[in-house]
Amino acid sequence: LVLMMELAVCVLLMLLFLGGSSKLASWLGGRHYQVHRLSAVAVRTIQALVVRAMPLPEATSLGFELVGSDRSTEQKVNRALRDCPNGASAATHLQTIADHFRNVATGRFCVLRVVLPITMVCVLGGAVTLVYCLAIFVPIVSLLHDLSLPGI
């Protein structure tokens, strides 16, 4: 029982010191939200550069540099830009890609907004309940054990 209490305390300390709810949010899909949102911003930046008559390859590399994206964002955007035409229709195509990434990020955020509070309540509430039960019932069980021993 003491081991379970120590485990509950370790979980609470881990949540406290390793980023709190943001670490838990990244485990529950928050990282995907960040990647999709950053992808939408990168594509919007690339679209703005293409509209101002910059070639698509240069706009893509500059857009990634300006947004400060990571490798997974670049892979998603490059995969989406593979069939992108050059010229006037590129801006429309980029707008569609940016809207897609934004919609996916919005969907992820809606799911995260529902799942994260439920998970936080379950994890923290369960840990607090476990610590409370152990603090109350361990002494009672110990007392009952001592009372059941034969007297002198």
pLDDT at 136: 86
Would you say the pTM of this structure is higher than 0.85?
Answer: no
**Closest of 139, 134, 121 to residue 8, by C-alpha:** 134
| Residue predicted with more confidence, 68 or 86 | 68
| Residue predicted with more confidence, 24 or 148 | 148
Distance of CA 93 to the CA centre of its chain: 28
For residues 7-14, average pLDDT: 67
Q: Confirm if 33 and 105 have CB atoms less than 8 A apart.
A: yes
**Closest of 139, 107, 124, 102 to residue 21, by C-alpha:** 124
pLDDT for 30 beyond 80: no
pLDDT for 20 beyond 60: no
Residue 109's pLDDT band (boundaries 50, 70, 90)?
A: confident
Paired tokens of 106: 């919005």
User: CB under 8 Å to 35, separation ≥6 — which residues?
Assistant: 70, 72, 73, 76
pLDDT for 21 beyond 70: no
pLDDT at 119: 79
Q: How far apart are CA 15 and CA 143, in angstroms?
A: 34
pLDDT at 111: 81
| Residue predicted with more confidence, 54 or 10 | 54
